[in-house]
């Protein structure tokens, strides 16, 4: 009898946990699925039945939003700016993180913790100083200026996260490469960098998701229509045609789809990096 009661208790506990996870999944994915369905429906169909299925599905709305409402230009701007910033931040940040992890120099720990503390400050604090710097170097309302701002804002988090991955690389492995005549530059690119690929993928995903949806710096430093990113384009369209719910949802999905594709492609490395970090911790 006690064994039966213990088994029943475990089943109830697992059922309760499963129900909570299912409820959480519905809570998180529900709004996203709803917006996805709205994006395939017209505004008239939405007002007739807000929770109806897209029958028929209007896939042509994506082409209309891409061409007639300038979402194509916004998308290309975001890909250029965010892609360049993410690659640059990961490459430069990985080199800095490797130095902090494998070399000890004067004030190295103090400098690293200063970088860590800077993560805690809200981005609004840097707006005025960044605006003055970009204005001084004539980089306001330019893609280059926004790329440099994105790189500088993401470098701190990149360095902080990647240092642990480089610290996990055995010192003996690097010493063996030095004995074989490999330079420090070669050790980093041929040994340390490939080993840290799971961490690099995770950091790249985090940086991409944050910068792809970033609005504050973009709206402050970009004013030209031809240089707007997707978040600016969505907000602009929402302000001008807020009653066209169907087309607004289509624009939102255009902005979200690249994040989904990136996560699907790199999800295995992302999960692997989280496991490595948990084991190391």
Q: Which residues contact 248 (CB under 8 A, 6 or more apart)?
A: 234, 237, 238, 241, 242
* Confidence (pLDDT) at 158: 94
DSSP 142: S
236-253 residue pLDDT tens: 888 887 788 899 999 989
Separation in Å, CA 179 to CA 121, 174, 175, 183, 247: 43, 9, 6, 10, 62
Report the C-alpha gap between 85 and 82 in whole angstroms: 5
* Confidence (pLDDT) at 5: 61
For residue 49, what are its two tokens?
């039945």
Report the C-alpha gap between 248 and 128 in whole angstroms: 32
Max CA pair span of the chain: 80
DSSP 107: T
* Confidence (pLDDT) at 104: 82
How many helices (H) and strands (E) in the chain? Answer: 14, 0
For residue 73, what are its two tokens?
């230009």
Total-model pTM: 0.86
* Confidence (pLDDT) at 214: 94
Alpha helices, H only, 103-142 = 108-118, 127-136
**Among residues 222, 13, 169, 11, which one has the least CA distance to residue 236?**
222
Mean pLDDT of the chain: 87
Instruction: Write out residues in the chain with pLDDT < 50, as ranges.
Output: 278-279, 281
Beta strands per DSSP E along 34-172: none
* Confidence (pLDDT) at 278: 47
Q: Sign of the CA dihedral 229, 230, 233, 239?
A: negative
Q: 3-state DSSP: the chain helix, strand, coil percent, rounded to 5?
A: 80, 0, 20
């Amino acid at each position: 009898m006690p064994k039966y009661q213990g088994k029943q208790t475990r089943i109830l506990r697992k059922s309760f946990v499963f129900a909570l996870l299912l409820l959480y999944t519905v809570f998180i994915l529900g709004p996203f699925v709803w917006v996805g369905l709205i994006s395939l429906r017209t505004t008239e169909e939405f007002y007739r039945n807000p929770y109806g299925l897209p029958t028929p599905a209007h896939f042509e709305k994506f082409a209309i939003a891409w061409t007639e409402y300038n979402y194509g230009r916004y998308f290309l701007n975001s890909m250029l700016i965010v892609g360049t910033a993410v690659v640059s931040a990961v490459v430069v940040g990985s080199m800095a993180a490797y130095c902090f992890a494998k070399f000890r120099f004067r004030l190295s720990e103090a400098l690293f913790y200063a970088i860590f503390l800077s993560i805690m400050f809200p981005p609004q604090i840097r707006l005025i100083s960044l605006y003055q710097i970009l204005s001084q170097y004539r980089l306001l309302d330019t893609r280059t200026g926004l790329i440099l701002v994105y790189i500088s804002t993401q470098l701190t988090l990149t360095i902080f996260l990647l240092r642990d991955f480089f610290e996990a690389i055995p010192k003996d492995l690097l010493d063996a490469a030095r004995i074989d005549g490999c330079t420090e530059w070669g050790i980093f690119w041929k040994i340390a960098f490939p080993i840290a690929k799971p961490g690099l993928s995770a950091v790249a995903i985090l940086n991409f998701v944050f910068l792809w949806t970033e609005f504050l710096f973009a709206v402050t430093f970009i004013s030209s229509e031809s240089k707007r990113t997707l978040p600016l384009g969505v907000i602009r369209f929402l302000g001008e045609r807020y009653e066209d719910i169907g087309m607004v949802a289509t624009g939102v999905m255009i902005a979200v789809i690249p994040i989904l594709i990136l996560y699907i492609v790199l999800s295995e490395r992302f999960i692997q990096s989280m496991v490595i970090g948990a084991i190391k911790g």
